[in-house]
Amino acid sequence: MPSINTIEFKNERLYLIDQRKLPEELSIFECQNYKDVVFAIKEMIVRGAPAIGVTGAYGLVLAAKEFINLSKEEFFRKIKESAQIIGNSRPTAVNLMWAVKRMEDIIEKNKSKSNEEVYEALLAEANIIEKEDLETNKSIARFGNEIVPKNATILTHCNTGTLATVGYGTALGIIREAHYSGKNIKVIADETRPRLQGAKLTAWELMQEKIPVTLIPDSVAPVLIRDGKIDVIIVGADRIASNGDTANKIGTYMLSQIAKDFNVPFYVAAPLSTIDFDIKCGEQIVIEERDAEEVTHINGVRIAPEGVKVYNPAFDVTPHENITGIITEKGIIKPPYVKNISRLLK
């Protein structure tokens, strides 16, 4: 299986695959300081909730290194300021805030230690978060493989693979597991307008591993679902409310509703860190709205009239009643979600 290093921290630098340039060019973006990390997250050099979380953690490591020679008081002030800036770089993916909170806890636990010791503690924690992500994805894949029939045609949306995580992926990790366990699957990847993550990233990843994939325009998916051409739909998540409502890439809600209408199983694959236990329902999830140029241009070329109004939400919310199950590293959560998700807190 080909190896892709989406995220690599070495020699006090963070190296990210520049996903804006795929599939035409495999290029590495170097982050020398936390501001580079904020830029990388905002500009979607790195994207995917788990990958953003790990990147944010390393952003705080870079911040600690940058301010290590300041006085202790100024060092902690700058670190806390950096944590807030990193945590706010994208508002919807809860994994980013979760990872930043873990790093802030490390800062608090080590506040009596030297700046150098705090830096080492932060680096160790970021390494743990990175390692946990890969282990979590492998576990999600094993549980998720249980719901994939032999000879299945699987529809997936956006990118949830190695490029969206440290490695293996969430929804795409399940697809990988099904493929490598000999289930003879086929994958339908929709293009995922307007950023085209399905076309540029998912199709690229699957072709790298010779997993059968067919790329479709987003608008083709409802017809395939209606006509019985899709056996199961598996998507990722950027935030899951405590009642199971799920925010994911724009277009997910449409797929879930059509799947419900035609009795096609619809699964969400995500680590437990994606569940936001502080919010009760999807209405409380902040939906990021992105720049109009993502819709009016493709690769810098204008495709829409100058001055046209644009509405460009990056995500939508799928209601829990449309979701067959939520596949996590601890198993598959089934309805009723309020009851079964709350059990995870015990």
Query: Hey, what are 75's tokens?
Result: 């060092």
DSSP per position, 330-342: TEEE-S-HHHHHH
Contacts (Cβ under 8 Å, ≥6 apart) of 163: 4, 6, 17, 19, 22, 47, 48, 51, 169, 201, 205
CA dist., res. 72 & res. 148, Å (int) = 54
Kind and range of the H or E run holding 234: strand 232-235
Residue 142's Cβ-count burial label (10 Å; 0-12, 13-18, 19+) is middle
Which ranges in 230-291 belong to alpha helices (H)? 252-261
SS3 content of the chain, % helix, strand, coil (to 5): 45, 15, 35
Containing 7, the helix (H) or strand (E) segment is strand 7-10
DSSP class per residue in 24-48: T---EEEE-SHHHHHHHHHTTSS-S
For 59, left (φ over 0), alpha (ψ -120 to 50), or beta? alpha
Show which residues are catalytic: 238
